[in-house]
Amino acid sequence: MTGKILGLGVGPGDPELITVKALRLLRRAAVVAYPAPETGDSFARAVVARWIVPSQIEIAIRVPMESARFPAEAVYDAAARAIAEHADAGRDVAVLCQGDPFFYGSFMYLFARLADARRVEIVPGVSSLAACAAAAGWPLASRDEALIVLPATLGEEQLARRLADAEAAAIIKLGRHFAKVRRVVAQLGLSSSARYIERASLASERILLLDDVAPESVPYFSMILLHRRGGASR
């Protein structure tokens, strides 16, 4: 009997925001795999560290963060091979995914390599979108409004064009792109309709007006929520 490959959403950071199902499957898995930076700790692993036991085999998928090398094909090829070998030997493999696996998750690179030939099950997680909205008390969209999600990595013109008509937007992957996004939002006259949310659901969470943010302090785990009416309930 082959093992299952499980893409487990572990939520945005607060360990209490993992689902009952993801936790049950994580505890039963013989192997736990997770994305990690080239050096240092995995954020996804840290979320569930209290439940990982020494008898579980761990696979750290160390991905270079520089965009020129992303998505680091060779790293994902090797990780997919290692995961497949464990599954073929009858071991369930839990792949930890920060937030939700299918919302901009790197799990998709493994899914693309494994899903045709192996049993892969996805367990959805609380996404950063939901966590940021909850943290800021900033409803995402209501009634017939359209919500768009934009990566801050887009060019300035493209961001401006897409935000110009947007009723509600989430701008993710801020990091070093924050100053560019803030400039675009200000040029469109939308600064007072936006909030900056950093590390939602963690003890270090911060929620600020864009003008109060120091661009050099902006981490990867941050986003801007924008709503023309200043939040659906306001």
Q: Where do contacts with ligand SAM occur on this chain (CB under 6 A)?
A: 12-13, 98-100, 103-105, 127-128, 131-132, 172-174, 197, 199-201, 220-223
Question: Of 211, 185, 202, whose CA–CA distance to 222 is shortest?
Answer: 202
CB of residue 188 to ligand SAM, shortest distance in Å: 20
Of 90 and 151, nearer to ligand SAM (C-beta) is 151
CB of residue 51 to ligand SAM, shortest distance in Å: 19
Query: The tokens 């020129």 sit on which residue?
Result: 68
User: For residues 109-148, b (16+ Cβ closer than 10 Å) or e, as one string?
Assistant: bbbebbeeebebebbbbbbbbbbbbbbbebbbbeeeeebe
CB-based contacts of 230: which residues, under 8 Å, 6+ apart?
192, 193
CB of residue 144 to ligand SAM, shortest distance in Å: 25
Of 83 and 129, nearer to ligand SAM (C-beta) is 129
Of 140 and 200, nearer to ligand SAM (C-beta) is 200
Of 34 and 86, nearer to ligand SAM (C-beta) is 34
Rounded to whole angstroms, the Cα distance separating 190 from 185 reads: 5
Output the CA–CA distances (angstroms, integers) from residue 60 to 10, 32, 35, 39, in the order listed.
Answer: 16, 9, 6, 10
Of 15 and 30, nearer to ligand SAM (C-beta) is 15
Query: Cβ distance 70 to 83 under 8 Å?
Result: no
CB of residue 173 to ligand SAM, shortest distance in Å: 4
Of 3 and 7, nearer to ligand SAM (C-beta) is 7
Phi-psi map region of 199: left, alpha, beta (phi>0 left; psi -120 to 50 alpha):
left
CB of residue 232 to ligand SAM, shortest distance in Å: 19
CB of residue 138 to ligand SAM, shortest distance in Å: 12
Give, rounded to a whole angstrom, the gap between the first and last alpha carbons of the chain: 55
